[in-house]
Structure 1
């Protein structure tokens, strides 16, 4: 993953990864930002309104970047931009005046599944994965230029170059109905597992057990299928651009 010399988020009790055995916690900007910007769905948790004892959680689209420094790399401080409908519970809360002047406190989770780890015993079965948890304060984006910039970033985070290959700019109604929250991240951590099963030494010495139980890793990948045209599609040709396993570009090339 990232180099150990990369700048890091502060290590606090709430974001410290506690795990026996092999250390899996990472706190550097690059590892965390890369996980968040390459995941398809972020899960966002926030305080529920009306004194509900259970925190709310919703899946959202988001992207980490810097509006003040568009050329900032993943190793530099970045903000998280979240996209949603203006009337959703989270967006309404983001617009209200909270007791905490910093904004609405959020917890954001991102996870990639990289493999199934199959061991000799159920206790040592696991996954290979990359996950990140972020804590931050959200405020609504009110600047028109920053909002448009964030919408473009989030759109292209789903499908590379899709923004310029669609009808833009958004209409006034689309801009009004869309809300962008900007999250100032205060701390974060990543947890990463790689490699083979970690079976007990006694089980590894059990030749009878090893002769009948397969052990190893089954890799998992995100795979996109063949594009299926919509009922109103009028473009005969499909231009496909593959960027790793991240995205497939569907672009208009004429009929």
Structure 2
């Protein structure tokens, strides 16, 4: 899928409330998903018995959107234990999934609790997921997910994976049928009557408290024998901290013209 492509809109991803915040731009969706440390994957798990209720299941998982060289468009790859329920459910066919990614950029404080909000970037993807069987594509997916979390970590680890490691690890590939991104930026949107009321504006602080993830200094454990922290790790920590802070600050300065 080309960077300028958009996902087709349907009832699963259509923005109803505050619809103008919803975008179907593929590049924006991919950027949010790939920047989110932990994705939340939901699916319908069959009941254990005929009298048991059916509940949706949501699991935190690691994943990334990337394009395998033999494909015409990107897909979302997820990995986990090969004996986990989600992987056993896809051992003989595909399974419909919904994958959600959310990045939190700040608390938005208004004159009234009713208009308190938060700045965020979120994406939702729907599609059919199946187990990846091709060993080369499995390696591609594991390399993709590893380096999306910590760049260059795959190349700076003991690779390739052993047969036992590959056997115990499952990789799911979700063909994205439709997806959308929804974001909120800027400060609070207060009622004009409140803004014109000197008693209200004179006693209540309004604004944004930026929020962003900060990575600490790498700490070697008891079996670590590399005395100096590798440069690629130090650079990654510095880059992530700088980028996360800037994203949160930028979100404050981008105005919004709707409530909440």
TM-score normalised by the chain length of structure 2: 0.85
2:126 to 132, 135, 147: 135
Structure 1 equivalent of residue 204 of structure 2: 213
Structure 2 equivalent of residue 68 of structure 1: 69
**C-alpha distance after superposition, 1:61-111 (max 9, x if no partner):** 0010110269xxxxx9410000110011111111134xxxxx100000000
**C-alpha distance after superposition, 1:39-61 (max 9, x if no partner):** 10000001112364211110000
1:92 to 76, 79, 88: 88
Structure 2 equivalent of residue 189 of structure 1: 180
2:137 to 146, 171, 192: 146
Separation in 2, partners of 1:96, 1:48? 15
Structure 1 equivalent of residue 16 of structure 2: 18
Give the 5 Å matches for 1:37-76. Answer: 37-50=34-47, 52-68=53-69
Structure 2 equivalent of residue 34 of structure 1: 31
**C-alpha distance after superposition, 1:5-31 (max 9, x if no partner):** 9321111112111124x7200101011
Separation in 2, partners of 1:50, 1:234? 49
Structure 1 equivalent of residue 253 of structure 2: none
Separation in 1, partners of 2:24, 2:59? 25
RMSD: 1.8
2:77 to 56, 68, 81: 81
SS at match of 2:239: coil
| Structure 1: tracts of 5 or more residues without a match | 71-75, 98-102, 248-255
| Structure 2: tracts of 5 or more residues without a match | 243-260
Separation in 1, partners of 2:210, 2:241? 16
Provide the aligned length of Structure 1 versus Structure 2.
232
SS at match of 1:110: strand
TM-score normalised by the chain length of structure 1: 0.87
1:206: how far off? 1.0
1:208: how far off? 1.0
Measured at CA, do residues 57 and 162 of structure 1 come closer, stay the same or move farther in structure 2, by a change above 3 Å? Answer: same
